A and B are shown apart, each in its own frame.
Chain A
Amino acid sequence: MPPLPAANSPWSRLVIDLDVVGLSRLQFALTALYHFLFIPLTLGLSMILVIMESVYVLTGREIWLRMTKFWGLLFGINFAMGVATGITMEFQFGTNWAYYSHYVGDIFGAPLAIEGMMAFFLESTFVGLFFFGWERLSKVGHLVVTALVALGSSLSALWILIANAWMQNPIGAHFNYQTMRMELSSFSSVLFNPVAQAKFVHTVAAGYVVGSVFVLAIGAWYLLRGRNVQLAKRSMAVAASFGLACSLSVVVLGDESGYVAGENQRMKIAAIEAEWQTEKPPASFTLFGLPDVQARTTHAEVKLPWLLGLIATRSIDTPVPGIYELVGRARARIVSGIQAHTALKELRASPMDAAALAQLQAHQADLGYGLLLLRYVANPADASAAQIEQAAWSTVPNVPVLFWSFRIMVGLGLFFILLFAIAIYLSARHRFEQNRWFLRIAFFSLPLPWIAAELGWIVAEYGRQPWAIDGVLPTFLGVSTRSAGNVIASLTGFIVFYSALAAVELFLMLRMIRRGPDGLGYWPTPAPAAAPPVAGTDALAAVRV
């Protein structure tokens, strides 16, 4: 092999602009959170459309066709936003996280590309037929198309979460010093990552819950207004039963089950619990507390015995390591990582150095921990004990944010179970209209599943910090070499542009909901006084022309 050019050392002359890091992270978080406003609803509504259309095909009753078409209209508005904002995510790794892309593209790119081929093509190709194929396809043919759209959406989530799970638990890969990046060793490990499985079930079920609450809440609004009564009641019945099943799976199969898989995942759960010291198994769950980052302790704790051990380890004898213990482990890995980094430097200078190669191989697994020091010192080998200590504690994510995000998310999850259970009861006894209090609660619950979903993202991704790839690549190293000015400009652009889009989308969504199935001409107007037939016809013409 020809000698590598006399690069001084791989990372030592590194100048990282921390403003760029902060701005790039902010931009990524905002665009991802924004994208994730639309995705769960796409996942959920597409499944609900399949259920409604199946009932139509099986029973042949017109009202189910109208339901499918009405909810499909809202689905279409949301779907477009999901697709549009998804393109940003695909671009952004390259535009703003160029080093990340180079460093892990060999592994991380594959699931994204397969997602395109297997899932995104499927949903996008058939979504057009969903809208334009009603008169061109048989009943069953159209149902198959709808089902393929839903299948594509969920498959899409699967591949994205396989990629994401690799960031949380990067297995099946190794560092290649010749190319200065991570490379794939086992695709099946990446594919069958236990974190991916847990995440998939949890995230997709959460999406179904979002769709169910959406249908339930809007159905409740129609009932409160006395409009579209038959359609609303049937929609709510579907939403309630589908929603109950899904909200139970979200909570029972929470992705905590995957948190035992990796070191960072353990740190995440310790931070979620604000568990500073390792407890004797089975660990108790902290119901309430005030995490104090300065004092590294939690005040006013209210604990439920055993629960955390059961959730996190599914056993009563496996300990859940606390933050102090995990920081200690990180410290040891940083010390080992310094060795790896030094060996790599030597190897870059003289590629035939067998001793350096042996040293790199021995400490390779900890290279990422060595890189953590680059935030504090130009050459990790020169790091002082204090800097190593600082780097070790930097592996602790923001404890209070995780602690509270998680609790609010779980609280909302439990609330949804209750909501859907009551809805099923009322639906089965045909008593929705007599219980206006419930309809009001259901309606005002509309924003809640989005709050839960966004908090879930925060727990999973903000809780991954300081790592872009757990134990492999610190987030601050991943950025592109753009200037802070560039990123400020693009961030401002996104904020303005996305806000405008959100305003238009919301306006359109509300207008379509207010017009309703009756106003769209799918359903005879209930009372001439509420909406004169002429208006209905006009609105019908409006949509058709």
Chain B
Amino acid sequence: MPDYETLRLTWWLLLGTLLIGFAVTDGFDLGVGVIFRFIGRTDEERRAVLECIEPVWEGNQVWFILGGGAVFAAWPLLYAASFSSLYVAMLLILMALIVRPVGFSFRNKLTEPRWRNFWDWTLLFAGAVPALLFGVAFGNLFLGVPFHFDDMMRPVYSGGFFNLLQPYALLAGVVSLSMLLLHGASYAAFKAGEPMSARAAAIGRVAALVFVITFVAAGAWLAFGPDGQRIGSGADPMGPSSPLLKTVLLQPGAWLDNYRGNVVLWLAPSIALLAALLAAVLLHFGRHGAALLSSGLTVAATILTAGIGLFPFLMPSSTDPNQGLTLWDASSSAKTLFIMLLSVIVLLPIVLAYTTWVFRVLRGKITLEYLRKHGSLY
């Protein structure tokens, strides 16, 4: 069995992988959900755009469910502290994630325009709310979440829902929303026929621009704005998972420590920016497949950028920074991490294999002619 430190590091990477898996696959579903009403102007056009994601969104969303399960199994303290602290935000995301499956399944069953309009708007919000709130959550991680542990190690949250909506967090929310809009638009441009494809590409170019501006602004804010956190002493990568043993220092710009320490890491934010610009250019020239790859790269690199900034923190605390959660003090036991790692090694390649196969079977553009010829019974 690998040592505890290696296991914890591996699970941090796996958590990142799951987040990226979620954002790259279900990310375009969320993005398409927000824009399909606008890139499809008739009901038939909307049907075509929706059919680009209907067969796959369900599997894609499992990345998120699995991410939740993996946090529960590998980082139980993080799971307990984050879900109970962000109670209202989590329940809002939850409601959005509940109406999405239902919306996809119910919308096409009846033809009344009122019925379809209702579900269209529902799907729009159900795409936009999580896309925005995931970014808000990440923004709050950099600001620190107002929580600490009581005597019996119960996480206690001392803020309210609206404390989460600080300017920086909202900025991070716009970063993630524009990122997923870019990604969703690239996907729709790639997968849907005309005229929806061209409209999607236009939205994607705007989203790319917004993303680039807000991404740079968020980075600059971290460099010059709020205090970052840095571990002082007492963090033992091999030690027991108790967040009460370390001290944490506050210092402006400390969130860039890792980048200062290793120049290679600047690759992540650079790729995020360049790939977004490239996606915009590719969308302009009608190279939609390449644009989709590029926007996917943006998504992955953005998540990596945030993760590297926070490392080794998972969920910093603003009220008692010493009790913030890190890689080294919030994990499961070595045994659990190892068993879970084995199951990932066995199962994840299988998942990737059949997911690839399913996407291959479903390949091809969903044009209006295709839709007229092949009715589906979804």
Seen from chain A, the residues whose Cβ lies within 8 Å of a Cβ on chain B are 1-2, 4-5, 7-14, 69, 72-73, 76-77, 79-81, 83-88, 90-91, 93-96, 98-99, 101-102, 105-110, 112-118, 120-122, 124-129, 131-137, 176, 178-181, 183-185, 187, 477, 480-482, 486, 490, 493, 497, 501, 504-505, 508, 511-512, 540, 542-545
Contact = CB atoms under 8 A, between A and B. Distances in A.
B91 A490 contact: yes
Residue among B73, B74, B157 with the most chain A CB within 10 A?
A: B73
Given A87-B97, A113-B66, A106 B336 contact: yes
Given A93-B83, A109-B73, 4 more contacts: A77-B109, A80-B104, A125-B56, A131-B377
A512 B377 CA distance: 12
A117 B344 contact: yes
Interface of B: 43-44, 47, 51, 54-59, 61-62, 65-66, 68-70, 72-74, 76-77, 79-84, 87-88, 90-91, 94-95, 97-102, 104-106, 108-111, 150-157, 234, 239-242, 244-245, 332-333, 335-336, 339-340, 343-344, 347-348, 351, 354-355, 358, 361-362, 374-378
B65 A116 contact: yes
Contacts of B91: 91, 95, 490, 493
A298 to B, nearest CB: 39
B343 A117 contact: yes
A481 B73 contact: no
Contacts of A183: 332-333, 335-336
A94 B82 CA distance: 8
A115 B70 CA distance: 10
A125 B360 CA distance: 13
A295 B324 CA distance: 52
Contact of A126 (B102, B239, B348, B358): B358
B151 A106 contact: no
A9 B66 CA distance: 36
B244 to A, nearest CB: 5
A95 B240 CA distance: 24
B361 A120 contact: no
Given A11-B151, A125-B358, A481 B62 contact: no
Contacts of A136: 361-362
B153 A102 contact: yes
Given A14-B151, A480-B84, A84 B111 contact: no
B304 to A, nearest CB: 22
Contacts of A184: 332-333, 335-336, 339
Given A115-B69, A545-B44, A132 B74 contact: no
A163 B332 CA distance: 16
Nearest to B86: A95
B359 to A, nearest CB: 10
Nearest to A110: B73
Contacts of A84: 97-102
B80 A120 contact: no
A120 B358 contact: no
Nearest to B158: A481
B69 A116 contact: yes
B1 to A, nearest CB: 12
Contact of A76 (B153, B240, B375, B378): B378
A431 B222 CA distance: 77
A112 B72 contact: yes
A131 B55 contact: yes
20 contacts: A12-B151, A77-B106, A84-B101, A93-B72, A93-B83, A101-B79, A109-B79, A116-B65, A118-B347, A120-B65, A121-B62, A125-B355, A128-B59, A128-B358, A134-B377, A176-B333, A180-B152, A183-B335, A493-B91, A508-B106
A507 to B, nearest CB: 9
Contacts of B378: 76, 131-132
A225 to B, nearest CB: 21
Contacts of A8: 151
Contact of B76 (A90, A101, A114, A482): A101
